[in-house]
Structure 1
Amino acid sequence: MEIRLFGPPAVLRGGRAVALPPSRKVRALLAYLAMSARPATRSHLCELLWDVPNDPRGELRWCLSKLRAVLDTPERARLRAQGDSVAIDLDEGSVDALEILRCVQQDVRPPARLEALAALCERGEFLEGLDVPRSPAFSGWVLAQRRRLRAAHACLLEQRFASLPPAGHDALAALDRWLAVAPFERAAHERMLEALALRGQFREGDEHVAAAARRFEAEGQDWGAIAHAWRALKSRHSGALTLAPGAILTTASAPTEQPTATSTRRASIAVMPFIDRTPGTALRGGLGDGMAHDVITRLAKLRSVFVIAEGTMFALSERHVDSEDAGRRLEVDYVASGWLRRGPEAKLSVNVQLTQARSAHVVWAEEFSGALDDTFSVLDEIGNRIVSEIANQIETAERNRAILKNPSSLTAWESHHRGLWHMVRFHREHNEQARQFFEAAVRLDPTFARPHAGLSFTHFQDAFLGWRERAAAIEQAYAAAAEELMADDHDPASHWALGRALWLMDRKEEALRELHSAVDLSPNFALGHYTLGFVNAQSGDAELAIAEADQARALSPMDPMLFAMMASRALALLRLGRYEEAAEWGERSVARPNAHVHIRAIAMFSLALAGRTAEARAMAASIQRVQPGYGREDFDHAFRLGADLQALVDKAARTLG
């Protein structure tokens, strides 16, 4: 069975078209179920396709019966309606739109397949001619799918061009198709100009730049980078800088500013204004714009990604430029977009998704909700979670991308993320490899601040875990942190790294000042909150330590340092005399990936103080298996325990003999 959604919807079985019912709702239901990654609930389908029907469940049953006649055969029932869920069985079947989306997520795309799939996109618009009146939810879904598929189509055409000789007729045809789909994509214009220069067609290049200038100016877009690229190409291929007679663009009229080079240091992101889908509310302004402003501001404070300014994003939105088109126009790596709705009983729901701009691949999507009893409080809480998730997802995606590249071809940004991948393994050999990648990143770009923080962390691990001579490692941790602070004193990671180094040097008050500076610069910096909890758990305010550890976990619930956040909470609970809770958190910390030997020791002491001696002895045995000869001196050497916690550890040690 084949389901075609480009052009008017169609179903083919064995290559022969199956007659579809004339009902728009039936065709809409077919398309939605075919594109769904998981079964849909009946209530959701009713909300999607009916505004205020008399009997939505009854109408849905009628539509399903008509759809069953199209999809099912005596040998196989493809429409699965079990209980409240509805789905289409697509085993041994295909959906053209899904094939497109799957292809752009693959690393290897044969040219013949690229051409075949691009041709599918050109059969017609997604669900061409299918309009379901008084169904705004379905109309919004169709619009989102069209945007997503248009971006995927552009990605296919870009890859198709890359597989061809750059100056051939086929390459020019591929570029024409690419520009037809993405007319404001600078990369496509530059590839077209390069192909024309290679063919010696300088007049055609002048005309192309002039046409592009008119089009970009009509949309309020900057075309200066295209003009400068063409001048450089002409200089390289012909030595000529003067434009052909009759062309609109001249050397005098071309923008004088030089285009900004694509940063190799940070991934870039554009955050679109959020759409307010609350009934009776304007699509723009109010809560939706406020949420986008908040996310942009908080992301910028993290300093880990390059964030497009909100003025640009709001201007594009005013021109009704969708998120996929905006991402490609701005040449960013990621686009965040979403919508919100104020529902009954004062509840706010916010839906967010993060997309890779070049491939239209959805990296992450989530729905957040909260009670609107205190509007500012719930917006702050949801904003925190959104920003932290976006930053973590980008970090993970960049690490995974860097690990697949040849080490000799890495940029400073990629070397940094390759180092991060090794760093969070918490293993001696991985730590050494991480250090080498961070050092490479610093060599490639000495002004890039973040690798210095990574270097400091590797030296911190050496000192904390006893992998190298302690005094030298501490000195190097401090020196690397100081280098980052000089490179970017507004980066929260620089103050975090310096705070950790100062703690190693037993300069607690100075360490706390730097750690507070980190979270003041960026309240969403989870590692800053965790380290405040880590320090206070040992010798400061135990209640504050728990609050900071909990805040870190809320901001980054899948963080590689999650085991340490839990262990810090366990230490603070011990100081408060809540031994059983401490034992629970100690066990949870040990169960996390990459938990090192000190974490096991915290769990062991917590279990002993909770009276669970047998389990504590079993944990002690596991410590010896992991690191034979590990003893009390190793633990005391690593931490800076206050007198009360030191007495508790002594008591636990005596219990265990």
Structure 2
Amino acid sequence: MPVESERPIPTDAAALLQVRLLGPLTISRGGVVLALPASRKVQALFAYLALAPHPVARSRLCDLLWDVPNDPRGELRWCLSKIRSLVDEPGRHRVDTQADTVRLDLADCWVDAIDIARAHHDGIDTLAPDRLRMLAASFEGELLDSLEIDRSPAFCGWLTAHRRRFRSFHVAVLEHLVRSASDDEVLGYLEKWLELAPFDRRVHELLLNRLAERGQFREGEEHLAATARLFEAEGLDCAPIRATWRLAKAQGDRPPGARVAASPALIGAAPDAIVTLAPRRASIAVMPFADGSPAERARGGVADALAHDVITRLAKLRSLFVIAQGTVFTLHERRVGPEEAGRMLDVDYVVGGSVWRHDKRLTVTVDLTETRTARIVWAESFDHKLDDAFFILDEIGNRIVASIASEIEMTERNRAILRPPNSLDAWEAHHRGLWHMYRFNKTDNDLAQHFFKMALRLDPTFARAYAGLSFAHFQNAFQDWEQREPEIDRAFEAAGQSLIADDRDPAAHWAMGRALWLRGRHNQSVVELEQAVDLSPNFAQGHYTLAFVHSQDGDPRAAIGFSDHSRQLSPFDPLLFGMLGARAMALVRLGRFEEAADWAIRAAARPNAHAQILAIATYSLALAGRLDEARGYLATIHKTLPRYGIGDFLTAMQFSSEGEQLFREGARRIETN
């Protein structure tokens, strides 16, 4: 029989079915707790389906919960019947079994874990304090407390991973609450945060600062001593926390009005010392992938090989600080989950995932998470036949690395654009420049140069900022926004500075390749661009620029291959219009005008496509005999550039003689027909 609930029920969900997964599983209707089926597997199946984002195959559910049963599908049907009796209502069937899949439809119900996950997806850093307090109160214990099931290793692995994820959600909520909590609340939140993440350096530093502000120096000394023993036992460095305490005590001894902010890096420096802080880059830890295959596998298999591959490829990009393999594998052996590892290592992003081998198929799931908000920035699932394991892993590795790099760059750009310009460090100024650069108009290009130069004033060794500055000068010449020859020289000079700063950075060679192309030195340009992709095979913009160069005065078939590969690596790239446009120009040179027109239209449809891209569509359509469409694109160009013509297009590009003749023929058809 149902019993009265002692827990508070959200007022906006009082009339609905309410499900609490944080703590012991509880299902309520109208504020009354329902009696659950005695079978732990029924409860586990319900929870798994409640959190599944998509319908789940019956075979997957059988592998999840039954080790070697006599009749797994029969047991599954019995469990589903018990769930139906619990959650279905007249006219409302929540267990949906279509084809060979199962879905639990709780769209009209309130589920605490889903409510929390949605808040993190939307961004907890945007939530009001009252909403954060409500979320914090929802954590009444571990996910599905005491629901472990013997002889169900797949379910236990799933439960462990999800408990870690929701623990990281809880920590992120507490961290953001600390920023807005009153003095009476903040110590309680810090203590709970410390309990959940004892190796998170940030919580120790905040707690020590708060104790110093309250004059509780004895408590601070005791906490520091305990923390030092804890960190040293795990082989972790406690020196930054000691430095924080020294500064906190020095600040705490001063009158409140005399306290000033200082960095722990400056503690102990002589009064006139000049302290140079290391340039900041976004940091990332790639944790070994969990092997969720039915058969237990030893370390060093497919899951570990994939993690090693991703770590190596990300390091080759040179744009991120990547934690070494030895560290992340050691933490994994200690059963430290990705989210906890991210906080222990104090990195900006952490990658986690799983590998599942079943019935000659390989399924890989991977997600990229912001450490301090526990927000999943990107997630993807890859499913392939396991015909050639090495080929499949290489392809999946390519997609993972390119997607991670692209998503982090976009996240950092969007974050930088929200910061006041005078508060930016070199990394943020660089990404502010990228945000403006990718808008492809003169005003934003000028702003991009300003922020790249700011980044270089703050860090004169920042190779990527030089590469960005070179690209901004390239655009000035290519788009005819400034006098062409001086801008070509400036693009070349900035690319050279990028190479001097770091000749192992693929972006430096990419910048030099573009600058050499501007100077008409095509062969040398290709050499530099090939060096860029040799250094980092996942550098999508290097592959794209090879397509761009070959599409005009090189091998058009190679251009198509480079274009396709660049789009496979980075399907949402800000230069996607160029990747599509390069393919269209290569098809024109091959005489495949109708295909060229279709690809050019796709390029022109991109929101940041500029006049040169619209011109590719104009002349490709004319060559395909689609003159009305061609004139429509030319009219669009003339709205902003009234005098634009074939001469402007050919000055921007550098076609071989036969390619130039083809595009002149397209222009002639528009003028004479």
Same fold (TM over 0.5): yes
| Residues 143-222 of structure 1: pairs in structure 2 closer than 5 A | 143-165=160-182, 168=183, 170-222=185-237
Relative distance call for 1:188 and 1:264 in structure 2 (3 A) is: farther
1:319-368: CA deviation from partner (whole Å, max 9, x where unpaired) = 111111100101111111222234434x4332211111122222211122
Q: Aligned equivalents of 2:363 and 2:89: distance in 1?
A: 41
Q: Which moved more, 1:455-464 or 1:619-628?
A: 619-628
- The corresponding residue for 1:467 is 481
- Does structure 1 retain, via aligned residues, the 8 Å contact 2:279–2:459? no
| Secondary structure in structure 2 of the residue aligned to 1:351 | strand
Deviation at 1:79, TM superposition (A): 4.2
State the shift of 1:416 in Å.
1.9
Q: Which residue of 1 aligns with 2:604?
A: 590
Question: What secondary structure is seen at the aligned counterpart in 1 of 2:355?
Answer: strand
Corresponding position of 2:470: 456
Task: Determine if the alignment matches structure 1 residue 609 to structure 2 residue 623.
Answer: yes
1:385 aligns with 2:399: yes
Give the C-alpha shift of residue 564 in structure 1.
0.8
Q: Deviations over 1:225-245 (max 9, x none)?
A: 212222333344349xxxxxx
CA-CA distance at 1:411 after TM superposition: 2.6
Partner residue, 1:106: 124
Contact map agreement 1:275 1:283 (CA 8 A) in 2: no
Residue 628 to residue 561, structure 1, CA distance change in 2 (3 Å): same
The answer to whether the Cα contact below 8 Å between 1:277 and 1:283 also exists between their aligned partners in 2 is no
1:313 counterpart = 2:331: no
Partner of 1:600: 614
| AA partner of residue 134 (structure 2) | A
1:72 to 76, 88, 91: 88
TM-aligned CA distance change 1:633 to 1:441, over 3 Å: same
Q: Read off the aligned partner of 1:106 and give its amino acid letter.
A: I
Compute the displacement of 1:184 (Å). Answer: 0.3
1:13 counterpart = 2:29:
yes
Which of residues 53, 65, 72 is equivalent to 1:37? 53
Match for residue 282 of structure 2 among 259, 267, 277: 267
Distance 1:531 1:398 in 2: 23
Q: CA deviation at 1:100?
A: 2.6
Q: Is the 8 A contact 1:276 1:284 kept in 2?
A: no
8 Å CA contact 2:154, 2:292 repeated in 1 = no
Equivalences for residues 107-506 of structure 1 within 5 A: 107-121=125-139, 123-165=140-182, 168=183, 170-238=185-253, 265-345=280-360, 347-506=361-520
- Match of 2:354, SS? strand
Larger deviation, residues 558-567 vs 48-57 = 48-57
- Separation in 2 of the partners of 1:341 and 1:44? 11
Q: In structure 2, what is the equivalent of residue 23 of structure 1?
A: 39
TM-aligned CA distance change 1:339 to 1:72, over 3 Å: closer
CA distance in 2, matches of 1:588, 1:464: 21
How many angstroms does 1:306 deviate by? 1.0
**Residue in 2 aligned with 1:631?**
645
The equivalent position to 2:64 in structure 1, one of 44, 48, 56, is 48
**More divergent stretch after superposition (200-209 vs 561-570):** 200-209
Structure 1 residues 66 and 373: CA distance shift in structure 2, 3 A: closer
Counterpart of 1:136, as a letter, is P
Q: What is the distance in 1 between the residues matched to 2:57 and 2:417? A: 39
Partner of 2:8: none
- Separation of aligned partners in 2, 1:41 and 1:318: 31
Contact 2:433 2:449 in 1 (8 A): yes
Q: Distance in 2 between matches of 1:144 and 1:284?
A: 18
CA distance in 2, matches of 1:73, 1:151: 35
* Secondary structure of 2:126 counterpart: coil
The 3 A distance-change label for structure 1 pair 75 and 653 is closer
Aligned to 2:79: 63
Asked if the contact 2:285/2:351 (under 8 Å) is kept, the reply is yes
How far did 1:444 drift? 3.0
1:58-95 CA distance string (max 9 Å, x none): 43333233222222334754445555554444455321
Cα 1:21–1:644 change in 2 (3 A) is same
Query: How many Å apart are 1:417 and its aligned residue?
Result: 1.7
Relative to structure 1, is the Cα distance of residues 458 and 393 closer, same or farther in structure 2, using a 3 angstrom cutoff?
A: same
8 A Cα contact 1:41 1:85, kept in partner:
yes
SS at match of 1:331: coil
**Distance in 2, Cα, partners of 1:602 & 1:321:** 53
Work out the CA distance in 2 between the residues paired with 1:456 and 1:625: 29
The AA in structure 2 aligned to 1:70 is L
Q: 1:85 to 1:427 in 2, by over 3 A?
A: farther
Moved more, 499-508 or 147-156: 499-508
Distance 1:303 1:117 in 2: 38
Aligned match of 1:576: 590
Cα displacement (A) at 1:312: 0.9
Unaligned runs of 5+ in 2: 1-16, 255-274
Q: Distance in 2 between matches of 1:488 and 1:560?
A: 24
Counterpart in the other structure of 2:665: 651
Alpha carbons 1:455, 1:477 under 8 Å: kept: yes
Aligned letter for 2:128? P
1:277–1:72 distance in 2 versus 1, CA, 3 Å: closer
Please state how far the C-alpha of 1:600 moved relative to its aligned partner.
Answer: 2.0
Q: Which amino acid aligns with 1:141?
A: W
Compute the RMSD of aligned alpha carbons: 2.4
The residue number in structure 2 matching 1:511 is: 525
Q: 1:227–1:611: structure 2 CA closer, same or farther, 3 Å change rule?
A: same
Task: Look up the match of 1:567.
Answer: 581
Change (3 A) 1:76 1:385: closer
**Aligned equivalent of 2:564:** 550
TM-superposed CA distance for 1:281, in Å, is 4.5
Q: Counterpart of 2:244 in 1: which secondary structure?
A: helix
Q: Could you say what secondary structure the match of 1:125 adopts?
A: coil
In structure 2, the partner of 1:257 is none
Any idea what the Cα deviations from partners look like across 1:89-115, whole Å, max 9, x if unmatched?
445532122233333423333334433
User: In the alignment, what sits opposite 1:252?
Assistant: none
Q: 1:277 to 1:138 in 2, by over 3 A?
A: closer
For 2:410 and 2:18, locate their aligned partners in 1 and report how far apart those are by CA, in whole Å: 36
Change (3 A) 1:332 1:450: same
For residues 562 and 448 of structure 2, what CA distance do their matches in structure 1 show?
A: 28
* Structure 1 SS opposite 2:125: coil
In the alignment, is the contact (CA less than 8 A) between 1:198 and 1:237 conserved in 2? yes
Identity value in percent? 55
Moved more, 223-232 or 310-319: 223-232
Contact 2:311 2:324 in 1 (8 A): yes
Q: Is the 8 A contact 1:369 1:382 kept in 2?
A: no
Aligned equivalents of 2:388, 2:54: Cα separation in 1: 35
Kindly provide the CA deviation profile for residues 399-442 of structure 1, in whole angstroms up to 9, marking residues without a partner as x. 22223333333332222222222221222222223223223322
Looking at structure 2, the residues matched to 359 and 129 of structure 1 have their Cα atoms a distance apart, in angstroms, of: 27
CA distance in 2, matches of 1:604, 1:102: 45
Query: Could you tell me how far apart the structure 1 residues matched to 2:278 and 2:111 are?
Result: 38
> Which has the higher mean CA deviation after the structures are superposed, 635-644 or 286-295?
286-295
Specify whether residues 553 and 141 from structure 1 end up closer, same or farther in structure 2 by C-alpha distance, changes over 3 A only: same
Count of matched residue pairs = 633
Letter in 2 for 1:315: T
Q: C-alpha distance in 1, partners of 2:429/2:464?
A: 11
Deviations, residues 95-137 of structure 1 (Å, cap 9, x unaligned):
122233333423333334433332331x222101112333333
